[in-house]
Every structure is written in C-alpha cells, then in structure tokens.
Amino acid sequence: MNLLLETDRLIIRNYAREDLSDAAEFLMDEETMYYIPKPLSNCQNSSNLSIVRNTPTPTYPSY
C-alpha cells in the first residue's frame, strides 16, 4: 500500500482491491449518501467499482 497522507484521525491512500466490498456497502447506504442526489444502484456500483478495479495505480515521483 502506498501511504499518501496520515494524520491522527485520517489516512488517505490509494484504493486497494480489499476496499471494493466496503465501498459498495457505503455507496448504497441511504443514510451515508444523504447529501448525494441519488444513492447508487447495484448496477451503478458494479460499473463504478469495475472502473476502480481496472484502473492502474498511479505512481508518484519521490523527492
């Protein structure tokens, strides 16, 4: 895992395959998605998650 940013309360990192089921779960949760115009359907989630799954992990220069 490429750790990009970490604080006491937050870790920002690249997505990993292990994140897909958790992402699908919260993307379909109405309470979690309250401020999003319309929660995603299973088909939309599958499509979006397949894009994430098939997108290569970017590489960043180290300074």
Query: Tens digit of pLDDT for each residue in 24-51?
Result: 887 778 888 787 766 555 555 556 656 5
Give the tens place of pLDDT for each residue, 6-27: 899 988 888 787 888 888 887 7
Q: Residue 58: is its pLDDT beyond 70?
A: no
Amino acid at 36: I
Among candidate residues 14, 12, 44, the one with its CA nearest the CA of residue 28: 44
Contacting residues for 2 by C-beta, under 8 A, at least 6 apart = 13, 14, 57, 60
Six token digits for residue 25:
């779960």
pLDDT given for residue 9 in this prediction: 92
Phi/psi of residue 57, nearest 5 degrees: -70, 125
pLDDT given for residue 44 in this prediction: 58
